[in-house]
Amino acid sequence: MKFFIDSAEIAEIKELSGYGLLDGVTTNPSLIAKSGRKFKEVIAEICAIVKGPVSAEVAATDYEGMVREGEILSKIAKNVCIKLPLTMDGLKACKYFSDKGIQTNVTLCFSAAQAILAAKAGATFVSPFIGRLDDIGQDGLSLIEEICDIYSNYPEFKTEVLVASIRNPVHITQAARIGADVATIPAKVLKQLVSHPLTDKGLETFVKDWASTGQKID
């Protein structure tokens, strides 16, 4: 499973990329607004830190506007992945960019039917938002299962399932059991993955016992 970070904060992207855990980055207009920074500058900086796909989302909602903005964004760096909404115009723009060999991420996917359309449009990634489905009382992980099942019936579908809107570590472990290709994870949740009270307690004991030996490893 590939790990992307869902963030537009340079400091946290740098920090987590230093651990060798990041295969890519996703941003969205809300994360860019939260950063308070200029969109193209942030994307350029992220692309220089992480070599994998960096999703940059168009702001336009019509086909011509998406193509115009996507062209501009794709020139920032080779690893920019154009993020497009799951609408008819977004799918058309997805086809346009995938035909040109430019990576695409079709976002705001909330149904298996939408995911089939994204695959037919040649998307590199489709982003089902599982946390937002959970928020309205639907089971986000069931959608991941459904999409992975459907895609496995059609080897000609090359689109990767990118699990988005992740809220907790269980979302990640369950998505991995299902076989999703990618998880895009907020920094806070990524850090939660490592923590276990027995790890902390065990390490504390080992450090204490080692000190009592008076030895050094040299």
188 is an active site residue: no
Strands 24-26 and 2-6: parallel
Cα(123)–Cα(82) distance, rounded to whole angstroms? 10
**Cα-Cα-Cα-Cα dihedral sign, residues 30, 32, 33, 35:** positive
| Catalytic-role residue among 2, 83, 158, 216 | 83
Q: Which is nearer to ligand E4P, 76 or 208 (CB)?
A: 76
Contact 157, 119 (CB under 8 A): yes
Cα(136)–Cα(10) distance, rounded to whole angstroms? 31
Smallest distance, Å, CB 162 to ligand E4P?
Answer: 7
Smallest distance, Å, CB 164 to ligand E4P?
Answer: 3
Question: What contacts 24+ positions apart, CB below 8 Å, involve 113-120?
Answer: 114/86, 115/147, 115/150, 115/151, 115/159, 115/161, 116/150, 117/86, 117/91, 118/86, 118/91, 118/94, 118/159, 119/151, 119/154, 119/157, 119/158, 119/159, 120/91, 120/157
Neighbours of 131 (CB within 10 A): 16
Q: Which is nearer to ligand E4P, 142 or 199 (CB)?
A: 142
Q: Which is nearer to ligand E4P, 40 or 201 (CB)?
A: 40
| Interface contacts to ligand E4P, rule CB under 6 A | 6, 26, 28, 107, 127, 129, 131-132, 164-165, 184
Q: Which is nearer to ligand E4P, 40 or 132 (CB)?
A: 132
Smallest distance, Å, CB 157 to ligand E4P?
Answer: 20
Smallest distance, Å, CB 184 to ligand E4P?
Answer: 5
Q: Active-site positions?
A: 83
